[in-house]
């Protein structure tokens, strides 16, 4: 993008009028647009001008400023001189400016601002004479040379800081600001000498040269390594460029009646409608963030300068009303007069986002739709799980994958049995494993959190933890778990069993020691917001629930049914596992039937409780899915135990166990293939479902069972399984003398199923897209092994996202779309949903809504997120989403 002369390149703001507006962020950058808008609103902003971001690339390509730009900048400087009555480079009344960067999207910390530009050995005397304050004049001068040295001359900061520190110590004063003027003057000399020595060029005395050097440095900062990395990370296009703001200085370092600070129009962590922030007296901008001095809370300003505080409050309200959102403002007080130097949309926690949105509806600042549109659905995570107290002091050990949100502290244990024992006693434990397997389930249930060294976002640990709403950090590669020695090593440290750690599953961070946690409370505001979301959305939201407890939790979070009830999890606990193993080890159908008869009542009572919890909402039950080897022990000791429990020879048990091993179990004997090879399993499960349903109905309850066949590839498979299910249903209905309406449908989780969805839909009454397996099979990528190269792919930019975390709409999505279209063509009223972790991912929810699905289903704690995302999907269809986004 190369600018031409015909375009205005410089936009002035000052004296109550600005050339630009808030809508011109693309040209002016966020900072410039905000300054222009505030000026137009009559808010006191020091006058200045913004050089368009379109000039950024012109400069970067040619490393030159076009002559017409020089003309426009000089003209703007003259306007600035007229507006302030000062002269740039003037010996008596010098005009000083700041030079600040600012892109359309905020890139905090991308480059440093230069303050007090225009000072040299002559103008500093004018500043001294005018202010009658030599300390102020030389404090400003030394700041300028220091910033210019590091930003424009690109010199490291520490040598400057060391020189400053030496002076401070030699003088024996507590703070830099306490240095006398003569020391500050000496520092200016020291800094200049340092620059000359390091760069072989003198510090420029000519203010015009200073200005162009600073403008060039701001443009150059667009292409620093950290700026480029930041853009990659946040998907900001390189073509955007940064604008440059040149602004008249106002001085917070003129004494105790001056100062500088940052304020939010509402508390960004709680959302309370109070002015929030901090400030420093006798200081300039960078002192507040640099941590060199202790800042004061904004409440103190009320005591020290009540009018200024009141004025600040008034401006905050004006800006909020104008932008209709929380404002984050930077201000400076010069001898008791308040100036605004920046405003932007205030970042906030999930709690604050919900509270402010709902309260702003009450204040008639925004509509209910806007409130719903405004909250990033994933921010609700913070409301649904405990979080680490933001004031806590933390000792970071390492970072893994944020597998299941929430924070927890506990003593480290390495063994599921120990976790269970200690957990039962009410002790807080965190189960740390290289990776987990179904055999660890009982320990996971009792642990406060789970930490694994291997595995991805859909590893066993991650999936199980999310289902339970338990914090989990998975795939923390830096951790070396030594389960037998009961310790783990991480970055040269050793953590032994019994030592406390804290796990934050929302960020993937693992800390040593115990951190203070804040527990979630579902506020009235949350309930109101969700009520509005529910009125707006068309998509239904169901929960993935395998237990009555999950089902209840799902209902509490507003789920309208169960989209996926996995039956295998029911078999992992205690006696059930033994009966299951007996079934697997049986020689023939009769032996299997005997073992299955033991499982029937257990399964039936599970279904009964789940049906009751769902109060008539649909419950979609998936028939047994995983390969059978997942149910049998692998270690010799456990095999021996199992053999003696079943009264069978060890060698025989071992033979059967070995015989179950498959090279690619995920592509082996599993899903409906199990039910086809062993129809008695399907019979038992169908019987349990229909008997439970009849029992509930007989007691005046309501049920809507949906029986789901997993991993179907062909319509022939489906037909076989459906026949078994329907036959059992009829038998049970005859026995019980009543009928219950039910549906039989299939998962679509193999590409072949999606490709032949029309055939399937002629037989199946519903589809549920199992996006975990569909991703796995479409990509030919095993989710259990992806951890070995996926991080590399992500790192190298070969992949933008992990397809198991973020639904691949281009590839997998195309199969889903085809499945929906073909399916509906064959059966108009085909019920379609999605289950699997993607079901709660906001982008995927939007996608499903566009395809016209009936529902999405996700783990209990993601249900509110999906409800909100579904409402936003409905708003997006109406075109209201973008309009409601804040402008600055």
Give me the residues that bind Mg ion (CB under 5 A), please: 330, 342, 749, 770, 773
For 260, the enclosing helix (H) or strand (E) is: strand 259-264
Under 8 Å between Cβ of 357 and 375: yes
Q: Smallest distance from the beta carbon of 219 to Mg ion, in angstroms?
A: 18
Q: Output 57 or 345, the one with its CB closest to Mg ion.
A: 345
Under 8 Å between Cβ of 633 and 439: yes
> Pairing mode, if any, of strands 429-433 and 407-413?
parallel
Q: Smallest distance from the beta carbon of 238 to ligand ADP, in angstroms?
A: 19
Closest CA to 428 of 522, 515, 549: 515
Tell me phi and psi for residue 459, to 5 degrees. -65, 165
Binding mask 595-634 for ligand ADP (x = CB under 6 A): ----------------------------------------
Q: Smallest distance from the beta carbon of 110 to ligand ADP, in angstroms?
A: 8
Catalytic residue list contains 87: no
Q: Output 330 or 369, the one with its CB closest to Mg ion.
A: 330
Q: Output 330 or 706, the one with its CB closest to Mg ion.
A: 330
Q: Which of ligand ADP, Mg ion, none interacts with 250 (beta carbon under 5 to 8 A by kind)? A: ligand ADP
Q: Which of ligand ADP, Mg ion, none interacts with 282 (beta carbon under 5 to 8 A by kind)? A: none
Q: Smallest distance from the beta carbon of 14 to ligand ADP, in angstroms?
A: 12
Rounded Cα distance between 375 and 356, Å, is: 10
32 binds ligand ADP (CB under 6 A): no
Query: What proportions of the chain, in percent to the nearest 5, are helix, strand and coil?
Result: 50, 20, 30
100 binds ligand ADP (CB under 6 A): yes
Q: Smallest distance from the beta carbon of 622 to ligand ADP, in angstroms?
A: 52
Which residue is closest to Mg ion by CB? 773
Under 8 Å between Cβ of 574 and 439: no
Q: Which of ligand ADP, Mg ion, none interacts with 770 (beta carbon under 5 to 8 A by kind)? A: Mg ion
Q: Smallest distance from the beta carbon of 336 to ligand ADP, in angstroms?
A: 15
Helices marked H in 152-180 — which ranges?
158-171
For 472, the enclosing helix (H) or strand (E) is: strand 472-474
According to CB under 6 A, which residues from 281 to 300 bind ligand ADP? 285
According to CB under 6 A, which residues from 335 to 374 bind ligand ADP? 341-342
Rounded Cα distance between 28 and 50, Å, is: 6
Q: What is the token pair recorded at 884? A: 């409601």
Closest CA to 205 of 286, 124, 102: 124
Q: How far apart are the first and last CA of the chain?
A: 24
For 332, the enclosing helix (H) or strand (E) is: strand 327-334
Q: Output 96 or 375, the one with its CB closest to ligand ADP.
A: 96
Which one is catalytic: 57, 460, 552, 569?
A: 460
Helices marked H in 615-755 — which ranges?
636-646, 650-659, 672-677, 679-698, 715-736, 751-755
The SS3 call for residue 343 is strand
Q: Which stretch binds ligand ADP (CB under 6 A): 192-200, 245-253, 428-436, 766-774?
A: 245-253
Under 8 Å between Cβ of 1 and 54: yes
Q: Smallest distance from the beta carbon of 124 to ligand ADP, in angstroms?
A: 17
Q: Output 31 or 385, the one with its CB closest to ligand ADP.
A: 31
Q: Output 220 or 749, the one with its CB closest to Mg ion.
A: 749
Q: Which of ligand ADP, Mg ion, none interacts with 340 (beta carbon under 5 to 8 A by kind)? A: none
Q: Which of Mg ion, ligand ADP, none interacts with 329 (beta carbon under 5 to 8 A by kind)? A: none
For 334, the enclosing helix (H) or strand (E) is: strand 327-334
Q: Smallest distance from the beta carbon of 314 to Mg ion, in angstroms?
A: 21
Rounded Cα distance between 625 and 882, Å, is: 42
Q: Smallest distance from the beta carbon of 507 to ligand ADP, in angstroms?
A: 24
Q: Smallest distance from the beta carbon of 330 to Mg ion, in angstroms?
A: 5
Catalytic residue list contains 835: yes
517 binds ligand ADP (CB under 6 A): no
Q: Which of ligand ADP, Mg ion, none interacts with 249 (beta carbon under 5 to 8 A by kind)? A: ligand ADP
Q: What is the token pair recorded at 434? A: 């290289």
Binding mask 102-131 for ligand ADP (x = CB under 6 A): -----------x-x----------------
Tell me phi and psi for residue 472, to 5 degrees. -150, 130
Report CA Rg, the chain: 33
Give 732-791 as a DSSP string.
Answer: HHHHHT-----EEEEEE-SHHHHHTHHHHHHH-SEEEEEHHHHHHHHHT--TTTGGGTHH
Q: What is the token pair recorded at 873? A: 């999907």
Closest CA to 609 of 736, 523, 695: 695
> Pairing mode, if any, of strands 479-482 and 704-709?
unpaired
Q: Which stretch binds ligand ADP (CB under 6 A): 84-92, 180-188, 248-256, 312-320?
A: 248-256
> Which contacts (CB < 8 Å, 24+ apart) does range 176-184 have?
176/292, 177/139, 177/253, 177/282, 177/283, 177/287, 177/293, 179/139, 180/135, 181/134, 181/135, 181/137, 181/138, 181/139, 184/135, 184/138, 184/139, 184/141, 184/142
Q: What does the chain come to in residues?
A: 888
Q: Smallest distance from the beta carbon of 338 to ligand ADP, in angstroms?
A: 12
Q: Which of ligand ADP, Mg ion, none interacts with 341 (beta carbon under 5 to 8 A by kind)? A: ligand ADP
Q: Which of Mg ion, ligand ADP, none interacts with 674 (beta carbon under 5 to 8 A by kind)? A: none
Under 8 Å between Cβ of 123 and 93: no
Rounded Cα distance between 831 and 813, Å, is: 18
Q: Output 502 or 712, the one with its CB closest to Mg ion.
A: 712
Q: Smallest distance from the beta carbon of 619 to ligand ADP, in angstroms?
A: 53
Binding mask 314-333 for ligand ADP (x = CB under 6 A): ----------------x-x-
Residues in Cβ contact with 747 at an 8 Å cutoff, skipping those fewer than 6 apart = 622, 671, 708, 709, 710, 711, 712, 753, 767, 768, 769, 770, 773, 835
Q: Which stretch binds ligand ADP (CB under 6 A): 247-255, 739-747, 823-831, 851-859?
A: 247-255
Closest CA to 149 of 189, 181, 110, 100: 189
Q: Which of 46, 204, 207, 864 binds ligand ADP (CB under 6 A)?
A: 46
Rounded Cα distance between 475 and 460, Å, is: 11
Q: Which of 50, 260, 356, 777 binds ligand ADP (CB under 6 A)?
A: 260
Which one is catalytic: 835, 838, 848, 858?
A: 835
Q: Output 341 or 444, the one with its CB closest to ligand ADP.
A: 341
250 binds ligand ADP (CB under 6 A): yes
Rounded Cα distance between 850 and 363, Å, is: 33
Q: Smallest distance from the beta carbon of 236 to ligand ADP, in angstroms?
A: 15
Q: Output 146 or 342, the one with its CB closest to Mg ion.
A: 342
Q: Which of Mg ion, ligand ADP, none interacts with 420 (beta carbon under 5 to 8 A by kind)? A: none
Q: Which stretch binds ligand ADP (CB under 6 A): 244-252, 407-415, 583-591, 850-858?
A: 244-252
Q: Output 52 or 342, the one with its CB closest to ligand ADP.
A: 342
Q: Which of ligand ADP, Mg ion, none interacts with 773 (beta carbon under 5 to 8 A by kind)? A: Mg ion
Q: Which of ligand ADP, Mg ion, none interacts with 115 (beta carbon under 5 to 8 A by kind)? A: ligand ADP
247 binds ligand ADP (CB under 6 A): yes
Q: Which of 98, 258, 772, 859 binds ligand ADP (CB under 6 A)?
A: 98
Q: Output 51 or 247, the one with its CB closest to ligand ADP.
A: 247
Q: Which residues are catalytic?
A: 460, 835
| Positions that interact with ligand ADP (CB under 6 A) | 46, 98, 100, 113, 115, 247-250, 260, 285, 330, 332, 341-342
């Amino acid at each position: 993008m190369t600018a031409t002369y015909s375009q205005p390149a410089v936009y002035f703001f000052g004296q109550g009028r600005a050339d630009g507006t808030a809508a011109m962020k693309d040209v002016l950058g966020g900072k410039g647009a905000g300054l222009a808008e505030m000026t137009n609103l009559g808010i006191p902003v020091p006058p200045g001008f913004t050089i368009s971001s379109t000039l950024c690339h012109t400069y970067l390509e040619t490393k030159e400023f076009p002559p017409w730009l020089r003309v426009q900048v000089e003209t703007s400087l003259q306007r600035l001189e007229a507006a302030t009555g000062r002269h740039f480079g003037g010996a008596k009344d010098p005009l000083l400016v700041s030079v600040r960067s600012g892109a359309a999207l905020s890139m905090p910390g991308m480059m440093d601002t230069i303050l007090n530009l225009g000072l040299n050995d002559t103008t500093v005397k004018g500043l001294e004479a005018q202010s009658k304050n030599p300390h102020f004049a030389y404090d400003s001068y030394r700041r300028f040379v220091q910033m210019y040295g590091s930003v424009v001359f690109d010199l490291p900061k520490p040598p400057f800081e060391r020189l400053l520190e030496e002076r401070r110590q030699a003088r024996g004063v507590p703070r830099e600001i306490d240095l006398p003027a003569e020391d500050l003057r000496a520092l200016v000399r020291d800094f200049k000498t340092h620059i000359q020595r390091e760069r072989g060029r003198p510090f420029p005395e000519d203010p015009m040269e200073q200005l162009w050097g600073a403008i060039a440095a701001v443009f150059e900062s667009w292409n620093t390594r950290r700026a480029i990395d930041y853009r990659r990370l946040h998907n900001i296009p390189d073509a955007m460029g940064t604008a440059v703001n040149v602004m008249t200085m106002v001085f917070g370092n003129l004494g105790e009646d001056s100062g500088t600070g940052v304020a939010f129009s509402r508390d960004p962590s709680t959302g309370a409608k109070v002015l929030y922030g901090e400030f420093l007296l006798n200081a300039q901008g960078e002192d507040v963030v640099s941590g060199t001095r202790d800042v004061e809370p904004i409440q103190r300003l009320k005591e020290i300068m009540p009018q200024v505080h009141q004025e600040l409050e008034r401006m905050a309200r004006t800006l909020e009303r104008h932008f209709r959102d929380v404002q984050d403002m930077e201000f400076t007080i010069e001898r008791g007069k308040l100036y605004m130097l920046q405003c932007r949309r205030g970042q906030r926690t999930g709690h604050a986002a919900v509270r402010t949105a709902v309260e702003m509806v009450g204040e008639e600042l925004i509509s209910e739709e806007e409130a719903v549109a405004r909250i990033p659905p994933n921010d609700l995570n913070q409301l649904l799980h405990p979080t680490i107290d933001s004031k806590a002091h933390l000792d970071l050990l390492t970072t893994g994958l944020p597998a299941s949100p929430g924070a927890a502290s506990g003593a480290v244990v390495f063994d599921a049995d120990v976790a269970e024992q200690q957990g039962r006693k009410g002790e807080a434990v965190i189960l740390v494993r290289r990776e987990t397997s179904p055999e660890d389930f009982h320990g996971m249930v009792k642990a406060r959190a789970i930490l694994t060294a291997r595995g991805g976002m859909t590893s066993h640990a991650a999936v199980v933890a999310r289902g339970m709403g338990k914090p989990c950090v998975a795939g923390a590669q830096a951790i070396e778990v030594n389960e037998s020695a009961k310790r783990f090593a991480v970055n040269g440290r050793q953590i032994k069993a019994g030592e406390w750690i804290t796990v934050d599953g929302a960020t993937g961070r693992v800390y040593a020691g115990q951190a203070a946690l804040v527990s979630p409370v579902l506020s009235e505001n949350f309930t109101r917001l969700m009520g509005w979301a529910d009125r707006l959305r068309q998509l239904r939201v169901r929960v993935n629930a395998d237990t009555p407890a999950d089902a209840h939790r799902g209902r509490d979070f507003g789920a309208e049914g169960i989209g996926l009830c996995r039956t295998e999890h029911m078999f992992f606990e205690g006696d059930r596992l033994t009966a299951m193993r007996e079934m697997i080890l049986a020689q023939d159908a009769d032996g299997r039937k005997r073992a299955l008869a033991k499982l029937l009542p257990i399964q039936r009572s599970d279904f009964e409780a789940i049906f009751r919890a769902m109060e008539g909402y649909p419950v979609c039950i998936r028939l047994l899915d995983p390969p059978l080897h997942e149910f049998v022990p692998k270690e010799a000791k456990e095999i021996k135990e199992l053999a003696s429990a079943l009264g069978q020879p060890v060698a025989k048990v071992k033979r059967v166990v070995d015989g179950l091993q498959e090279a690619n179990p995920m592509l082996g004997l599993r899903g409906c293939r199990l039910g086809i090879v062993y129809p008695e399993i399907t019979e038992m499960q169908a019987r349990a479902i229909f008997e439970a349903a009849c029992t509930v109905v007989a007691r005046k309850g309501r049920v809507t069972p949906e029986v789901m066949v997993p991993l179907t590839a062909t319509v022939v498979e489906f037909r076989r399984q459906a026949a078994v299910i329907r036959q059992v249903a009829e038998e049970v209905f005859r026995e019980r003398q009543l009928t219950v309406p039910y549906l039989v449908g299939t998962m679509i989780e193999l590409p072949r199923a999606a490709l032949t969805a029309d055939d399937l839909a002629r037989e199946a009454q519903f589809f549920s897209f199992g996006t975990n397996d569909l991703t796995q099979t479409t990509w030919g990528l095993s989710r259990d092994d992806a951890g070995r190269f996926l991080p590399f792919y992500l790192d190298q930019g070969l992949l933008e996202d992990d397809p198991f975390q973020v639904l691949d709409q281009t590839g997998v999505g195309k199969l889903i779309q085809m499945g929906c279209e073909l399916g509906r063509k064959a059966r108009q009223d085909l019920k379609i949903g999605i289950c699997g972790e993607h079901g709660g991912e906001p982008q995927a929810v939007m996608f499903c809504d566009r395809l016209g699905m009936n529902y999405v289903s996700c783990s209990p704690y993601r249900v509110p997120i999906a409800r909100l995302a579904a409402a936003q999907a409905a708003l997006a269809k109406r075109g209201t989403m973008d309009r409601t986004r804040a402008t600055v």
